[in-house]
Amino acid sequence: MTKEILTNAFYMAAPSQSWTGLWSHPESDAVRYNKLDFWVDLARTAERGLIDGIFLADGLGIHDVYQGSPDAIMRAGGMFPVNDPMMVIPAMAAATSNLCFGVTANSTYEPPYLLARRFSTLDHLTDGRVSWNVVTGIQPSAARAMGVEPVPHDQRYDIAEEYMDLMYRLWEQSWEDGAAVRDKERRVFTDPARVHRVRTEGRYPCEAFHPCEPSPQRTPFIYSAGASARGMRFAGTHAEAAFMSVSDKEHARQLVDGYRTAAVDAGRTAESVKVFNAITVVVAPTESEAREIEDQCREYSDGEGNLAMLSAFIGQDLSRYGWDEPIEHVESDAMQSVADAMTRHNGGRPVRIRDIASFNALAGSEAYVVGSPTQVCDELISWVDATGIDGFNLVRTIEPGGLRSFTELVVPELQERGRYKTEYRPGTFREKMFPDGGPRLPADHIASRYRRTPAPVGEPVAR
């Protein structure tokens, strides 16, 4: 049976992200990123194209590794200014019926009790169409903003394990099913005997009742974006979908196998984790027209902003290199998987500074395809069949035209080839991704051990 390709529109509540500067194109609407109708229009476009979700990246600091300054990022509008992505989700949900929403939140700096409440609220307001992309944070500027010291890479994941323990207790353990009785006749909204206090010690001491009644999914659908060895182990334990950004199919296949193995090692099935890869798609009715759009992207993309962005991702200042010098592998506490992809899994082609600055196919970065609908579909299908990935995060280009072209040109051809759905599946985010399951996390997921078994009728309940 051929695999249907899943897709997310990859966005951020900022003027631009992966390709800085494209907000300045005359046909771009990205300068209106801080207007609500911008997000409502995006959601409606995505749902018309049967896009699975809008995946919202986020960052709590500013990229200031390049030249030791944030100036290049500020000028380029690259992930800065940046608004809170959670705030735009209810408006998008109200304008759609099936589109799902993935939103990034940081386990190193966000207080878990407050974040659990926000996600439960979003899960209620979206009817279960929300997911959490768990990140541990790479920006030293975020640590300074929060008044703490930066945490080493692997230690961030150790912290995240303890963080998840409290989140699962709040979502899965505090309320029994049916505790919110809503009994108007007796004037009882919540049965106190069926709501339980959560108590934890250690890094995240907490003594509280989860303030929200159980939402449709209880625990939101879980994404993880880590592809390092430690990040992959975390994903194998917690994630239901993983997000990576690589350009080499052989490397992608290795990472997909790594996620599957990590899931099995955690006591889950190999197919418990959907894997998405980032991809830049430039499509038009003909290849020549697509190349013209690519040239426009190249003209308006901000080279220095792109260098500043990647400097932060890999944790080294790229301004120290000459224009034609290849970058070297340097160990850091930033995105180790990105650094590895650009220096060790780059198809044997060294990545030069001029390559990083320009809008083009970049060895070690995300996948990249330019062409007619037939050419683009051929490449998407090749990626899925060769690597085992489940879908793509569609990187922003000149919007809304880029996403609109994908939905109008690529989606219909993928449907004709039997590789894309013709209608949305019903249910929550989790049910759309795993139609054989239900709205709750499956029994083999670590969170299931937190579920409370109701006490037999007549027996006292420990509180």
- Residues 1-12 have pLDDT tens digits of 689 999 999 999
pLDDT for 462 beyond 80: no
pLDDT for res 354: 87
Of 151-155, 325-329, 344-348, 449-453, least confident by mean pLDDT is 344-348
Contacting residues for 429 by C-beta, under 8 A, at least 6 apart: 53, 100, 101, 128, 129, 130, 131, 217, 220, 221
Report phi then psi at 248, rounded to 5.
Answer: -100, 125
What's the residue count for the chain? Answer: 463
**180 — pLDDT class (breaks 50, 70, 90):** very high
pLDDT for res 95: 98
Mean of pLDDT values over 64-80: 94
pLDDT for 225 beyond 90: no
What is the percentage of the chain residues whose pLDDT exceeds 70? 93
Q: Is the pTM of this model over 0.75?
A: yes
pLDDT for res 367: 95
Q: Share the mean pLDDT of the chain.
A: 92
pLDDT for res 313: 83
DSSP letter at 326 equals: B
pLDDT for 461 beyond 90: no
pLDDT for 73 beyond 90: yes
**330 — pLDDT class (breaks 50, 70, 90):** low
pLDDT for 285 beyond 90: yes
Q: How crowded is residue 182: how many other Cβ atoms within 10 Å of its Cβ?
A: 9
pLDDT for 98 beyond 70: yes
Q: When comparing pLDDT for 205 and 341, which is higher?
A: 205
Report phi then psi at 335, rounded to 5.
Answer: -80, 95
**What CA–CA distance (Å, rounded) separates 156 from 162?**
10
pLDDT for res 365: 77
**336 — pLDDT class (breaks 50, 70, 90):** low
Most confidently predicted of 230-234, 324-328, 349-353: 230-234
Of 17-21, 227-231, 335-339, least confident by mean pLDDT is 335-339
Tens of pLDDT along 28-52? Answer: 999 999 999 999 999 999 999 999 9
Report phi then psi at 283, rounded to 5.
Answer: -130, 145
pLDDT for res 455: 47
Q: Which of 122, 62, 138, 128 is nearest to 98 (CA)?
A: 128
**275 — pLDDT class (breaks 50, 70, 90):** very high
**322 — pLDDT class (breaks 50, 70, 90):** confident
pLDDT for res 327: 79
